[in-house]
Structure 1
Amino acid sequence: MSPTSTTPTTHRLLAPQYLWTTIGSITLIFLGAFESLAVTTIMPTVSRELDGQALYSLAFSATLAASVIGMVVAGGWSDRRGPSGPLIASMAIFVVGLVLSGTAENMYVFIVGRFLQGLGSGATIVALYVVVARIYPPTLHPRMFGAFATAWVVPSLVGPPVAGVVADTVGWHWVFLGVGVIALVAAGAIVPALLHLRSVSNTAAAGSTWAVLWAIVVAAGVLAIGLGGENGGALAWPIVVVAFVVVVLAVRPLLPRGTLRVKRGLPATVILRGAVAAPFFATEVYLPYLLHEQYGLPSWLAGLILTVGAVSWATGSTLQGRLGERMSHSTTVRLGAAIVFLGIAVQLVTASLVLSPIVAAAGWLLAGGGMGLLFPRLSTLVLSMSDETDQGFNSAAMTIADSSASAVTIAFAGLVFTAFGAATGNGFVAALALTTVLALAAMPIAARVRTRAQAG
């Protein structure tokens, strides 16, 4: 299992020494993504049965906020003691959250379960990144992160319909309880590999308490941004702006030095994750809405554009994994950022000129492919510029940049959408103009990404 081994069998994810670790890790990523999408499908039923319509949005925002805390805790813990402990703990917390939500008889218990799911899933992702760094050789990192990306987007194809069938037949409770059973099996597959990992000491451990406190502040800010952007009203803009300032100030200690200044190398790599994710996911929120409201497409057909993006994302992830070192990290990152911008710009042009939905679908095919090229290479780059004392911190920083930037952008897009006329052509054009400008701004950031050798 040595990451420095160079025998031929070490260049396959399913080589005997990696087989169960690969299967278990990918399954855990898949389950986290499946649960996120499945909950979106069944939440109307859950909120109705638990008489919790007033707490509908909190069931989502609480999960996102908790994930930020989980990321920071797992990152510091992994750097101090290795990823075994945090990964086992995060999987246990995730399963407990599933059980709580699956057996909830009121909305408050359900939301507590969702909070624990966010805490566990956020920590699991970061701990798994460190597992990849400690177990797999660097040549396999692009392929492994490509597999992670595929495992994250594939549930968009099967998650909603499967969740709907389960909810309509055996009940929505089993959407949570069933995933909990599978998560335990996946955990059993990866635990043997965790037992072989050695813990490492970290002289920077004393700052971990402060990091958790800053993470709580960031989580509270993200929660306020989400609720403020969704609820609207006269105080919406002030709430979101103040919360945004709080998030920026609090997130700074959780990122590598120089990240907010877009310093070349690791800082630029970390912030690029958020700079690209934010406009992509904010655009994704409005595409089905646009096709349904402005083009009159039925909901199932309008939602099909998200499937197009998911398939192309998975394809791009697989492609960059197969290309490996034949296409440099820097080139792949720049190309991916450019393609994402182009795909989002097509959505703005489509909404502005009322072009055919086929044009929008073609553009989103591009955007998804660009994300597939970009995301796995960013994860690979972050690990290549980390060592055993900061792999967890840097992995957490990358995912925090992703989730925080996405939450902020979605909230601001919602405010712009409402200000220019919700459900009208102007509202859609304004929201997509915002995401297009942000996607354009990501391109010069991509140009500042460097490998460790280039940065040194």
Structure 2
Amino acid sequence: MTDVSAVSIWDRERIWVTVGATALIFLGAIEALAVTTVMPVVSEALDGQALFAVAFAGTLATSVIGMVACGAWSDARGPRGALYAAVSLFVVGLVISGFAFTMEQFLIGRLVQGLGAGGQTVALYVVVARLYPAHLHGRIFAAFAAAWVVPSMIGPFLAGAVAEFLDWRWAFLGVAVLTLIAFVLIAVRLHGVDLGDGDASSGGGAPVRLLLAFIVALAAVSVGLSADLSPNAGWPVAASAVLVIGFAVVKLLPRGTLRSARGLPSVVLVRGIIAGAFFAAEAYIPYLLMEQFGFSPTWAGVALMLAAFAWAGGSALQGRYGELLGNRRIAVISIALILVALLAVLVTALTNASPIVIVVGWGLAGGGMGLIYPRLTVLTLAYSVPGTEGFNSSALSISDATGSAVAVALAGLAVATLGGGVHAFPVVYVFCIALALVASLPGLRLGHAAERP
């Protein structure tokens, strides 16, 4: 018999898959966090301020397509082809963005990149399920979590330094090269390994879900592109697109999500709203610090590091005391911290107070997100039964990506309507405060792990 204690994610059979998969997660996180710092530089270099928001929202929107497509592909035919296709799209998107000479070209790269980013994470999870014994899943996912935490601490600073001292293009091209190296580690080890052929009959509803994902992504991108229209045309287009998203996303989420039904639907809804509030606000933190307070890209990146450390601390606190605090209390504390942070940024933007208030304040927001984000993941799994884990986990990710994409796009439209500049930033934070307040309703309806719908 095999000695279970001798089996490890670092043993000879799995070490290179572990290293490669963790590196892919790490590089995806580096790029996702780095782009927040370099986007003000990119939009100025390519004269694309009007498309600033859609460069964020578009990637999040197309990631929904990648999640649904690679999930269905992995279930029906196994994860190998899905992983290879997703990583290829991610790299191609990075190269297009890195070599772009217009904001439109850059945006195309970001859309392609989103397809790969959403798909590769789902495919990697299926690889883990097929290749690693169940008792190792906790360890490999802990490695993946660490691969997100470290970039959140160093990614914004590194990206700012690259943009300031080298060229912003290397923030994309450098990640593309490193991603290829990480992918080779996995591909070589997976060659000839039986990952299962999947079950072709499992993809019965996949075409409909994929069509809905396309509709959601197209509508989310339309919200972002509305910022390039006149306000009289942009707002009706954005409002129509948001309505389309609402109708299309219903079938991708648990029943009762949009009406905040108690339990899993509220868990999924909170994730989307609070993600929208946080990431729409954070997208404009470096922009605000550079435009209004004269920060360099490097120091604007450093300003986000405190929030990253606080996020890690909040996650650790939730992991240790989550059961003791309880779901409702965690939601209340988290949303309160995010509201205080948003108010601090708003007041600083309005009064031109010390930018240190923004840095410290945004640290509170990071702590709040660290508390609530992993708790929502835990609750999603707790509410799931065998056969629903994939759908529920996918729904949580779709809500996250869609909420972030729409919120960032609407914030960009508001900034464009006001003509940009420092006087437009307060509107972004008022909008995000409103979102955080809305999140408090489903936040009080999370229920308990034992309450299955």
Verify same fold: TM over 0.5: yes
Aligned CA distance change for structure 1 residues 224 and 112 (closer, same or farther; 3 Å)? closer
Tell me the number of residue pairs that the alignment of Structure 1 and Structure 2 aligns: 447
Q: Is the 8 A contact 2:384 2:392 kept in 1?
A: yes
Query: How far has the Cα of 1:361 moved from its partner?
Result: 2.0
User: 2:177 corresponds to which residue?
Assistant: 178
User: 1:286 corresponds to which residue?
Assistant: 284
Aligned equivalent of 1:273, options 246, 271, 274: 271
> TM-score if structure 2 supplies the norm length?
0.80
Alignment of 1:7-406 (within 5 A): 22-37=18-33, 62-81=58-77, 83-98=79-94, 113-130=109-126, 135=132, 137=135, 143=142, 146-151=145-150, 153-154=152-153, 155-162=155-162, 167=167, 174-175=173-174, 177-185=176-184, 187-188=186-187, 191=190, 195=193, 198=196, 201=199, 205-229=203-227, 231-295=229-293, 297=295, 300-321=298-319, 332-352=330-350, 354-387=352-385, 389-406=387-404
CA distance in 2 between counterparts of 1:442 and 1:172 reads 34
CA distance in 1 between counterparts of 2:58 and 2:375 reads 29
Moved more, 283-292 or 134-143: 134-143
User: 2:440 corresponds to which residue?
Assistant: 443
CA distance in 2 between counterparts of 1:413 and 1:277 reads 13
Query: How far has the Cα of 1:359 moved from its partner?
Result: 2.5
Q: Is the 8 A contact 2:26 2:148 kept in 1?
A: no
Q: Which runs of 5+ in 1 are unaligned?
A: none
Moved more, 293-302 or 334-343: 293-302
Q: Is the 8 A contact 2:411 2:428 kept in 1?
A: yes
Give the SS at the match of 2:279: helix
Q: Which runs of 5+ in 2 are unaligned?
A: none
CA distance in 1 between counterparts of 2:23 and 2:198 reads 27
Aligned CA distance change for structure 1 residues 408 and 327 (closer, same or farther; 3 Å)? same
Give the SS at the match of 1:453: coil
CA distance in 2 between counterparts of 1:420 and 1:48 reads 18
Q: Match for 2:149: what amino acid?
A: T
Q: Match for 1:442: what amino acid?
A: A
Give the SS at the match of 1:282: helix
Aligned CA distance change for structure 1 residues 110 and 412 (closer, same or farther; 3 Å)? closer
Moved more, 154-163 or 260-269: 154-163
Give the SS at the match of 2:450: helix
Q: Is the 8 A contact 1:166 1:175 kept in 2?
A: no
| Identity, % of aligned positions | 40
Q: C-alpha offsets along residues 204-263 of structure 1, whole Å, 9 cap, x if unaligned? A: 632110111111111111111111135554311111111111111111111122211222
Query: How far has the Cα of 1:340 moved from its partner?
Result: 2.4
Q: Match for 2:177: what amino acid?
A: G
Aligned CA distance change for structure 1 residues 379 and 148 (closer, same or farther; 3 Å)? farther
CA distance in 2 between counterparts of 1:238 and 1:44 reads 27
Q: Is the 8 A contact 1:167 1:173 kept in 2?
A: no
Q: Match for 2:429: what amino acid?
A: L
Moved more, 31-40 or 63-72: 31-40
CA distance in 2 between counterparts of 1:79 and 1:415 reads 38
Give the SS at the match of 1:454: coil
Aligned CA distance change for structure 1 residues 39 and 379 (closer, same or farther; 3 Å)? same
Moved more, 78-87 or 230-239: 78-87
Q: Is the 8 A contact 1:72 1:215 kept in 2?
A: yes
CA distance in 2 between counterparts of 1:103 and 1:418 reads 26
Aligned CA distance change for structure 1 residues 237 and 309 (closer, same or farther; 3 Å)? same
Query: How far has the Cα of 1:128 moved from its partner?
Result: 3.6
